[in-house]
Amino acid sequence: MEQQTEELKKKEVLFKDSFEKVRVLMISTYQDLFMDHGREIQEIWLKHLEGEYDKKLLNALKNSVKSTLIDFLHHIKGDEQEIVPIFKVYSTLNTKTEDWKVLNEPSHDVLLSSIEKLLKSILKVTAVVPRIQGVFRKDRQLILDDWQKKIRDADGASSVPPEVASMITKVYGSAYNNMSPEERKAIWDKKFELPK
């Protein structure tokens, strides 16, 4: 059981690392190509994430768990492949009683409990991979909050950094300085508000 637990820990780290690579690439692509386009593009991007990536990721995780459980079943039930021991059970014959009972260590109940615990831990390993759409929304909001802070900090300043000036132009056009706070908010919301 210890070997299986160690292997599960390695797979959990692998899942986390792989998901982090996907997350970084996804938000980078979005930020570079789609972020400053209107609500319609934002909705299409979200539908794509939910429809394509989340479903494919979920199916991949399900298939991974399924193949692991099938492999586990083959080892327990046995098949025509090479036998690979996954549990150690020590059996002794108790000659101290009249009916000479066979004693197993661990007992059947303990072994069954250990197998159930291992199966649950196999399922839990995949729980470290969140839904892409949820992570995307959080990452995107952090970027937007940073943009708003930079724009607020530059508002009324005598010199605006080129990066912030570019953001302002992309979001508000050239009339930013002539807009009221309500108009700015309306434009911001129209451009960046996502469906729930």
- How many Cβ atoms from other residues are within 10 Å of residue 147's Cβ? 20
CA distance 162 to 34: 20
State the SS3 of the chain. Answer: CHHHHHHHHHHHHHHHHHHHHHHHHHHHHHHHHCCCCCHHHHHHHHHHHHHHHHHHHHHHHHHHHHHHHHHHHHHHHCCCCCCCCCCCCEEEEECCCCCCEEEEECCHHHHHHHHHHHHHHHHHHHHHCCCHHHHHHHHHHHHHHHHHHHHHHHCCCCCCCHHHHHHHHHHHHHHHHHCCHHHHHHHHHHHHCCCC
89: which residues sit within 8 A by CB, 6+ positions away? 104, 105, 106, 111
pLDDT at res. 1? 63
Task: Count other Cβ atoms within 10 Å, centred on residue 23.
Answer: 16
pLDDT lower than 50: segments of the chain: none
Q: What is the pLDDT of residues 26-57, one digit of tens each?
A: 899 888 888 877 778 888 888 888 888 888 88
Measuring CA to CA, how many Å separate 42 from each of 3, 18, 61, 131?
46, 25, 27, 17
The domain spans of the chain are 2-86+128-192
Q: Which long-range contacts (CB under 8 A, 24 or more apart) does 146-151 make?
A: 147/171, 148/188
